[in-house]
Amino acid sequence: MNKRIIAIVAGGGSSEHEVSLRSAAGLQSFMDKDRYETYTVVLEGTAWNVLQADGSRIPVDKNDFSFVLEGRRIRFDYAYITIHGIPGESGQLQGYFDMMHIPYSCCGVLPAAMTCNKYTCNHYLHAFGVDIAESILLRRNEPWTEEQIVSRVGLPCFIKSNTGGSSYGCTKVKTREQIAPAVSKAFAEGDEVIVEAFMKGTEVTCGVYKTRQKSVAFPLTEVVAHNEYFDYDAKYKGESDEITPARIPDEVRDKVQQLTLRIYSLLGCRGIIRTDYIILENGQINVMDINTTPGMTATSFIPQQVRAAGLDIKDVLTDIIEDSF
- Please provide the DSSP assignment of 287-315 as one string: EEEEESS---STTSHHHHHHHHTT--HHH
CATH superfamily, domain at 135-197: ATP-grasp fold, A domain (3.30.1490.20)
Is residue 234's pLDDT more than 60?
no
Is residue 155's pLDDT more than 60?
yes
What's the mean pLDDT in 253-258?
98
pLDDT value of residue 122: 95
What's the mean pLDDT in 179-183?
95
Task: Give the integer Cα–Cα distance in Å for 88 and 106.
Answer: 9
Query: What sign results for the dihedral spanned by CA atoms 124, 127, 133, 134?
Result: positive
- Cis amide bond preceding 87, omega within 30: yes
pLDDT value of residue 14: 78
Is residue 97's pLDDT more than 50?
yes
pLDDT value of residue 190: 87
pTM of the model: 0.91
Bridge-based pairing of strands 171-173 and 201-210 is unpaired
pLDDT value of residue 226: 79
Is residue 299's pLDDT more than 70?
yes
pLDDT value of residue 238: 59
Ordered by start, the domain boundaries in the chain are 4-104, 113-132+199-322, 135-197
pLDDT value of residue 166: 47
pLDDT value of residue 13: 81
Phi then psi dihedrals of residue 236, to 5 deg: -120, -5
Task: Give the integer Cα–Cα distance in Å for 153 and 133.
Answer: 9
pLDDT value of residue 165: 54
What's the mean pLDDT in 276-296?
96
CATH 3.40.50.20, applies to 4-104: yes
Architecture of domain 113-132+199-322: 2-Layer Sandwich (3.30)
Fold matches, 4-104 and 135-197: no
Task: Give the integer Cα–Cα distance in Å for 8 and 151.
Answer: 46
What's the mean pLDDT in 212-235?
79
pLDDT value of residue 164: 64
Phi then psi dihedrals of residue 184, to 5 deg: -60, -45
Q: Give percent of the chain with pLDDT exceeding 90.
A: 87
Residue with the bigger pLDDT between 190 and 124: it is 124
Task: Give the integer Cα–Cα distance in Å for 274 and 289.
Answer: 8
Q: Assign 15 a pLDDT band (cuts: 50, 70, 90).
A: confident
